[in-house]
Amino acid sequence: MSREVLSYAEEKVEKARAVLRELVSLNTEVKNKALLYCAELMHDKRDFIKEENAKDVEYAKSLGLSSALIDRLVLNDKRIDGMIKVLKDVAKLPDPVGEITKMWTLPNGLRVGRMRVPLGVIFIIYEARPNVTVEAASLCMKSSNAVILRGGKEAINSNRALVEILREACKQAGFPEDAIQFIDRPEREIVWELLKMEGKIDVAIPRGGESLIRAVAENARVPVIKHYKGVCNIYVDDEADLNKAYHIVYNAKVQRPSVCNAVENLIIHRDILEEFFPRMAYILGKAGVELRCDEESLKVIKSDPRLSFVKAIPAKEEDYYEEFLDLILAVKVVGSLEEAIDFIEKYGSKHSDAIITENYTKAMKFLNQVDSAAVYVNASTRFTDGNEFGLGAEMGISTDKIHARGPMALEELTIQKFVILGNGQLRDNVGVPEDIMKDLF
Amino acid sequence: MSREVLSYAEEKVEKARAVLRELVSLNTEVKNKALLYCAELMHDKRDFIKEENAKDVEYAKSLGLSSALIDRLVLNDKRIDGMIKVLKDVAKLPDPVGEITKMWTLPNGLRVGRMRVPLGVIFIIYEARPNVTVEAASLCMKSSNAVILRGGKEAINSNRALVEILREACKQAGFPEDAIQFIDRPEREIVWELLKMEGKIDVAIPRGGESLIRAVAENARVPVIKHYKGVCNIYVDDEADLNKAYHIVYNAKVQRPSVCNAVENLIIHRDILEEFFPRMAYILGKAGVELRCDEESLKVIKSDPRLSFVKAIPAKEEDYYEEFLDLILAVKVVGSLEEAIDFIEKYGSKHSDAIITENYTKAMKFLNQVDSAAVYVNASTRFTDGNEFGLGAEMGISTDKIHARGPMALEELTIQKFVILGNGQLRDNVGVPEDIMKDLF
pLDDT digits (tens, 9 = 90+) for A23-64: 999 999 999 999 999 999 999 999 999 999 999 999 999 999
| Chain centre distance of CA A392 | 12
Closest residue of A to B255, CA-based?
Answer: A430
Confidence of residue A247 (pLDDT cuts 50, 70, 90): very high
Quick check: B247 contacting A, CB < 8 Å? yes
Stretch B24-51: mean pLDDT: 98
User: Where is pLDDT greater, at A241 or A186?
Assistant: A241
Domain B3-192+400-420, CATH: 3.40.605.10
For the stretch A256-283, pLDDT in tens is 999 999 999 999 999 999 999 999 999 9
pLDDT for residue B424 is more than 60: yes
Model pLDDT, residue A127: 87
Quick check: A376 contacting B, CB < 8 Å? yes
* A 264-293 → B contacts, CB under 8 A: 278-279, 282-283, 286-287
CA-based nearest residue to A26, from A176, A135, A148, A134:
A176
Quick check: B378 contacting A, CB < 8 Å? yes
pLDDT for residue A436 is more than 70: yes
Model pLDDT, residue A65: 87
Quick check: B416 contacting A, CB < 8 Å? yes
pLDDT for residue B433 is more than 70: yes
Model pLDDT, residue B69: 84
Closest residue of A to B377, CA-based?
Answer: A421
* Residue ranges of chain B that CATH labels 3.40.309.10: 232-383
pLDDT for residue B392 is more than 90: no
Stretch A322-344: mean pLDDT: 97
Quick check: A68 contacting B, CB < 8 Å? no
Confidence of residue B15 (pLDDT cuts 50, 70, 90): very high
Model pLDDT, residue B1: 57
Q: Do A46 and A77 contact (CB within 8 A), yes or no?
A: yes
Quick check: B258 contacting A, CB < 8 Å? no
CA-based nearest residue to A354, from A237, A217, A208:
A237
User: Which residues, at least 6 apart from B412, have a Cβ–Cβ distance to it below 8 Å?
Assistant: B395, B398, B403, B404
Model pLDDT, residue A1: 58
Across chain A, what does the average pLDDT equal? Answer: 96
CA within 13 Å, CB half, A41: 20
Q: Do B399 and B350 contact (CB within 8 A), yes or no?
A: yes
pLDDT for residue B66 is more than 90: no
Q: Is B276 left (phi over 0), alpha (psi -120 to 50) or beta?
A: alpha
Rounded CA gap, A292 and A284, in Å?
Answer: 12
* Residue ranges of chain A that CATH labels 3.40.605.10: 3-226+400-420
For the stretch B110-156, pLDDT in tens is 999 999 999 999 999 998 789 999 999 999 999 999 999 999 999 99
CA within 13 Å, CB half, B278: 14
Suggest the residue from A417, A428, A434, A439 to mutate for an interface test with chain B (most B CBs closer than 10 A): A417
Confidence of residue A69 (pLDDT cuts 50, 70, 90): confident
- The third-level CATH classification (topology) of the domain covering A3-226+400-420 is Aldehyde Dehydrogenase; Chain A, domain 1 (3.40.605)
For the stretch B222-277, pLDDT in tens is 999 999 999 999 999 999 999 999 999 999 999 999 999 999 999 999 999 999 99
CA-based nearest residue to B133, from B421, B422, B393:
B393
Model pLDDT, residue B158: 97
Stretch A196-212: mean pLDDT: 93
Suggest the residue from A259, A401, A412, A437 to mutate for an interface test with chain B (most B CBs closer than 10 A): A401
Q: Do A161 and A53 contact (CB within 8 A), yes or no?
A: yes
Model pLDDT, residue B245: 98
* B 15-54 → A contacts, CB under 8 A: 20-21, 24-25
* Residue ranges of chain B that CATH labels 3.40.605.10: 3-192+400-420
- The partner residue sitting opposite A427, judged by closest CB among B104, B225, B383, is B383
Q: Which residues in chain A are closer than 8 Å to B109, comparing Cβ atoms?
A: none
According to DSSP, residue B316 is labeled P
SS3 assignment, position A105: strand
pLDDT for residue A430 is more than 80: yes
CA distances (Å), B106 to each of B112, B427, B431, in order? 7, 12, 19
Q: Do A117 and B371 touch (CB under 8 A)?
A: yes
Across chain B, what does the average pLDDT equal? Answer: 96
The CA-CA-CA angle for residues A407, B223, B390, to 5°, reads 85
SS3 assignment, position A346: helix
Backbone angles phi, psi at B331, to 5 degrees: -125, 135
For the stretch A370-406, pLDDT in tens is 999 999 999 999 999 999 999 988 999 999 999 999 9
Architecture of domain A232-383: 3-Layer(aba) Sandwich (3.40)
Q: Which residues in chain A are closer than 8 Å to B251, comparing Cβ atoms?
A: 426-427, 430-431
| Chain centre distance of CA A217 | 15
- Bridge partners of B180, per DSSP, are B147
What percentage of chain B has pLDDT greater than the value 90?
94
